[in-house]
Chains A and B, each alone.
Chain A
């Protein structure tokens, strides 16, 4: 919901959700460029100063497609004490957590050690960001829970990081991004799934990332909006790969969360996968059941950015097809396309579905009492 374009927004709409909610996609930021340095060996501090992160994209700084606003974030989310949006716990509490009665907030740090070409640096940065999440956020506000950020292109070091953090109640999931060097079902990523399953942690796959592949199968598009819309196609291809490589068959207790890529496409992808599987299953004998069954049992979806049909009720057909028990509410704070909790569900949703959507599903999935 593009609240930044709405003038004179009411301070307290009568629809404001006062019951507790979970926000399953919050993006904490660093206040300064060197905020991670205390968690990094001197060698890596020096490396970053001299060479930068050397990502799978051309720009030394910033994204390949300029965002539509600074840091892709709300202009009203700059903390009063300075620093970029999302970098102050006090202001996050004041702007997001307290007024919306967020009982569980899941942190998904971006611009970390993921999507960079030097895998050793990647592992060091991910470990640093995990320490930083505890020090700056989860140890200071018990509502917040961290995600274990892992060096996505090196399955072995990623699995080691997961095992290192397993059992630490500051963390509730492992975080991957959707765009990697290869589709996420490929074997190089399997150690991540094995370690996550052993640790009983869901794997969240957040839209974005860099793997060097153009964001369309026809090459690089021109505009930021194409990248934004394209994240849902990336997510669909990543999920299709996970199913068709047999990841869910091999790791039956693995749970995955599709984060910030929409969910409107979920049922269509399931139907298409099932139809193609009926014809072509001899190519993938390791996929023993219709693809939609694995997805129904092992995949969850965060809600933001919720698709926006002209007739809101159309979206509820799709939710019914996916299952009300599979959606996890998320705002994407502090990003510009933030979904406002009080406005995403219209009247007419049952109390049980509303509770599951806003809070119950997330608490159950992430093991929060």
Chain B
């Protein structure tokens, strides 16, 4: 494996909300009452069943409780041994599955406040992502503006499978706010399950949902590019989190071919898709979904025609690699430095 270097940025770690009741101190009386009198249960997404092998590495799995719910464990497992300067916390609590915009807004606000108090306040290396209530664009923008006052929040977080394709114009006020406040928008694997998790319907298995994340990212990139998000918000950065990376180049070859063929349909797309990706889109390293041979890895990075696209991540506590082997074999020391330090700093202006 390529050697890690100190002072890296881990762009994707997942602190877990122990239970919905953990959010009660951050809810107002009305919502506290709703949660308790309606007997609401814990909001755990099917995307990551608690005991699924992919949800936690065996040696990162606690004896009790949810993987990722303990700060001390996160310090012991990643922050210390990887000698990280910062780690960006992306909570995957199931608030996106809620349909009511009022309830979702209350839960997102509570989740963000919980993250600041229980995590960011307790370890200066941690940074946060703002989880937003996408059932209401207005409320989502308000939540971004509220949290952005705390400079430890360094990005906005959305799921790759939501209610609508991410390029849709109705969502653009979110992107306007993010660009204005120097917040990249992180798009994380996972679904609100408001649509079937594949474009051909509901599969039978958890593994199918997980493999399908890559196709969801592909569809979202198409939407973001052809709707013209980056023509309108040229300084906006988007980070595909837990997306996989081996599909990027071949996907762009296809998009490029059709863009050349039918660009009259979306004339505002004034640059080739690959150029837009190079300037505005980044991808987290894990899960690194390529075979272990270094020669294949080298060709895949060659295909991307850029050493700026990939950002270091461990995806803690998800099980993507063993021991300290977060960096695949075959990366040059220069590329390791780009991935672990330079690229994340170039992406997240709020990291200092």
Contact = CB atoms under 8 A, between A and B. Distances in A.
| Pairing of A with B | yes
Interface of A: 2, 5, 68, 178-186, 211, 213-226, 228-230, 232-234, 236-238, 240-241, 244-245, 262, 264-265, 267-269, 271-273, 275-277, 279-280, 282-284, 305-310, 314-315, 317-318, 321, 336-337
B38 interface: no
Given A218-B220, A236-B215, A268 B265 contact: no
A181 B201 contact: yes
18 contacts: A186-B204, A213-B199, A217-B212, A221-B165, A222-B227, A228-B262, A229-B222, A230-B199, A240-B198, A241-B200, A271-B289, A272-B244, A280-B205, A280-B210, A307-B250, A309-B253, A310-B305, A318-B250
Interface in B155-170: 160-168
A233 B303 contact: no
A225 B200 contact: no
Contacts of A265: 247, 250-251, 254
B204 A232 contact: no
Interface in B168-192: 168, 191
Nearest to B253: A307
A226 B249 CA distance: 17
A306 B254 CA distance: 8
Contact of B303 (A273, A282, A317): A317
Contacts of A232: 218, 251, 254
Contacts of B274: 310
Given A262-B254, A307-B250, A280 B207 contact: yes
A233 B52 CA distance: 25
Contacts of B212: 217, 237, 240
B255 interface: yes
Nearest to B304: A314
A279 B54 contact: yes
A305 B215 contact: no
Contacts of B166: 218
Given A222-B165, A222-B227, A211 B253 contact: no
Interface residues of B, number: 71
Interface string B246-268: 11011101111111111011100
Contacts of B196: 213-214, 217
A292 B123 CA distance: 43
B6 interface: no
B171 to A, nearest CB: 11
When A and B form their complex, which 7 residue pairs have the shortest distance between CB atoms, in order from nearest?
A: A264-B250, A307-B253, A216-B219, A237-B198, A308-B257, A233-B215, A268-B247
Interface string B235-248: 00000000010110
A213 B207 contact: no
A268 B289 contact: yes
A183 B246 contact: no
Contacts of A233: 199, 215-216, 218-219
Contacts of A215: 199, 219
Contact of B260 (A180, A218, A244, A308): A308
A308 B216 contact: no
Given A214-B195, A226-B226, A310-B305, A272 B201 contact: no
Given A218-B195, A233-B215, A244-B205, A307 B254 contact: yes
B330 to A, nearest CB: 15
Contacts of A277: 207
A228 B265 CA distance: 12
A229 B258 contact: yes
Contacts of A214: 195-196, 199
Contacts of A238: 200
Contacts of B255: 229
A13 B201 CA distance: 45
A228 B164 CA distance: 18
